[in-house]
Structure 1
Amino acid sequence: MAALPLDATGHAPARRGTRIALPVALAVLALPLITAAHHSRPAPYGDRLTVHARVDDARPGREPALRATDRAVQAYDKESGAPRWTYTRAGRRPVTLLPAPGHAFTLWSDGLVTDTARADGGSVRWHRAVPASADWLRTPAARAGAGVLQPLTPDAGMLAVVTPHRIAAYRTADGDLRWVLPAKTGCSFEPARSVRRGGALLVAQPCTGPAAAWTAQVVAVDDYGRIVPGRTPLGNGDLRRSPGGAGSPEN
C-alpha cells in the first residue's frame, strides 16, 4: 500500500471521506434543534386549540354544547358536561359566540372573527378581521357584540358580520367574502337592533337629521345582499355539490 503524501507541515492530509462526513454529522446534530424551533413557533393569531376528548360521532345531534368565558371558547358534552375542546387566543377574549351546525363562530376583542370546527375542535377554519371594530367593541354602544354575528341561511352557509359602518357576508365553508353593504352617509347600523322575518334579516340604520325617512333607517338583507325590488343576484359560489354534481354559479 502506497504511503500518503505529506503536506507542508509533515502531516498526512485528511481523507476526502472525513471532509464529507463532518458536515453531514453536523447536519444530523442540528436536526433536533431545527425541529424544536419549528414546534416552538407561535401559532398564527395567537391561537391555542386544545382537544380534551376525541369523539368519532360527528352527527349534528351529537355536537357539543358551546359557551364563552372571559378568556376562552369551550365545547362540552351535553349529557356528561365533560370538556371536548378549548380555544383561546393570546391576549384576547371572546366577545360573543354564535353556535351553528358544524360551526362555532366567535367575535374576539380585537375585532377578529373565527370559525372553529364544532364537532371535534380539530381546526380553526378561518380568521377574518373586521375593520374599525376593536375600539367600538370596547364601548357600551356595542352591547357586548349583540347582533354582530348573524346567520343568513338556515344551515349557516352564509354569515353576516354587522358593525356600525358596514355589513359583510362571508361564505362559511372557507371564509370567502361575498358582499359588503356600507352604511349610508350620515347613518350607521345598529347590530343589536335587528330582527329576522322569513328569509330576510332586518337591521336598523338610524340616520342623523330630522329629514331622514324611516324607510331609509331599516335595511333588509339575505345571503345575496340587500333586498331591493327588481334585483338579480348572482350565486354565492356554494362549494358543496348538488346530487347532480353541479355547484351554484360563482359571484
Structure 2
Amino acid sequence: MVVLPVEATEPNPSAPGRPGGAWRPALRRRLPAALALLVAAPVLAALHATRPAPYGDHFTAHASYAREGRHPLAVLPVRGEAVTLWDDGVVTANDGTSVRWHRALPAADDWLPAQGGTGVLRPLGRGILAVVTPPRIAAYRLADGDLRWAVPAHEGCVFTPGRAVRHAGALIVAQPCPAAAWTSQLIAVDDLGRITPHRTPLGNDVPGRRPEHPNTEKVLARPR
C-alpha cells in the first residue's frame, strides 16, 4: 500500500511567499478517500478472481474445456477453435485457452433430448457457422458469435438437422411437415443466408477488419 507523505503541522499555510499553501488543506481532505480506494482495490480484485463463471466454464490442466454439470452432445473443430453443443442447449466456442462466446438455442428442452447433437452444428465457410434446429436455422460469425441471419421453418413444418447434406458449397436441409406426411420441402443456405434469386449480399466480416490483400495487383512480386 502506498502512503503519500504529508507534513503534520504548518504554521501558516496561507502566508505569502509559501508556495502550495492553498492546496494542502484540499489534499488533507482527499487523502482518506484515496487511502480507502488503495485498501479496497486488492479486495475487489480477489472477489472478481474467485467469482464463479456464469456458465460453469473451466479449463483443465491439459487445456480441455468443460462446463460444470453439463455434457457435450457435439463438438465441431473449425479454424483452430472448437464449437460445442451442450445438453442444456447452449452453444460455445473456445480457442483452447478462453471461451469466445455462448449462445442459447430457443426451446431446446422440447427437442434436444430426443434429437441429440446430430447435424446441429454445420460449417458454412467464410467464418460462418450454421446451427440447424427444428424451429429455425441460424448462422453465427465464428469470430465473435454475432448472429448474421436466421431462417424460420414454415408454419406446421420443422427442419431435420440429421438429414442436412452439403452440395456444391450449399447446405441443403429437409423441412418435412408432420401435419401432411406426403409434404416435404428442401431449402438451401450458405454463408449469405437462404439461396434465392436476386438476394442482397451480407457483409459477414468483422467490422473494421481489412481484407488480407485489398489490392490483388500487389500480391505478386514484380518480375526481375
TM-score (norm 2): 0.73
Identity among equivalent pairs (%):
51
**Partner Cα separation in structure 2 for residue 172 and residue 243 of structure 1:** 21
* 1:24 to 1:202, Cα distance in 2 relative to 1, 3 A: closer
Of the candidates 231, 246, 249, which is equivalent to residue 198 of structure 2?
231
Instruction: Report whether the alignment pairs 1:48 with 2:49.
Output: no
> What is the CA RMSD across the aligned residues, in angstroms?
2.7
* Partner deviation per Cα, 1:47-67 (whole Å, 9 max, x = no partner): 1134x4xxxxxxxxxxxxxxx
Of the candidates 90, 93, 97, which is equivalent to residue 112 of structure 1?
90
* 1:222 to 1:19, Cα distance in 2 relative to 1, 3 A: closer
Aligned residues: 189
Of the candidates 189, 196, 200, which is equivalent to residue 221 of structure 1?
189
**Partner Cα separation in structure 1 for residue 58 and residue 159 of structure 2:** 33
Question: Is the CA contact (8 Å cut-off) linking 1:109 and 1:134 kept in structure 2?
Answer: no
* Partner deviation per Cα, 1:114-161 (whole Å, 9 max, x = no partner): 1111xxx122111111111134212x2x0x2100000011x5x11000
Question: Is the CA contact (8 Å cut-off) linking 2:85 and 2:91 kept in structure 1?
Answer: yes
* 1:220 to 1:20, Cα distance in 2 relative to 1, 3 A: closer
Alignment of 1:65-214 (within 5 A): 83=62, 85-117=63-95, 121-138=96-113, 140=114, 142=115, 144-153=116-125, 157-210=127-180, 213-214=183-184
* Partner deviation per Cα, 1:183-239 (whole Å, 9 max, x = no partner): 01111011011111111111111113448544xx221111111123x2323123313
* Equivalent residue number for residue 76 of structure 1: none
Question: Is the CA contact (8 Å cut-off) linking 2:176 and 2:183 kept in structure 1?
Answer: no
Given residue 218 of structure 1, which amino acid in structure 2 is its aligned partner? L
Q: Aligned-pair distance for 1:112?
A: 1.1
**Partner Cα separation in structure 1 for residue 49 and residue 36 of structure 2:** 21
Of the candidates 206, 214, 219, which is equivalent to residue 244 of structure 1?
214
Given residue 169 of structure 2, which amino acid in structure 1 is its aligned partner? G
- 1:131 is paired with a residue of what secondary structure? coil
Structure 2, gaps ≥5 residues long: 1-24, 216-224
- 1:205 is paired with a residue of what secondary structure? strand
* 1:172 to 1:24, Cα distance in 2 relative to 1, 3 A: closer
* Partner deviation per Cα, 1:63-95 (whole Å, 9 max, x = no partner): xxxxxxxxxxxxxxxxxxxx4x11122222211
* 1:91 to 1:168, Cα distance in 2 relative to 1, 3 A: same
218-227 vs 204-213, which deviates more?
A: 204-213
Question: Is the CA contact (8 Å cut-off) linking 2:169 and 2:190 kept in structure 1?
Answer: yes
- 2:64 is paired with a residue of what secondary structure? strand
Given residue 178 of structure 1, which amino acid in structure 2 is its aligned partner? R
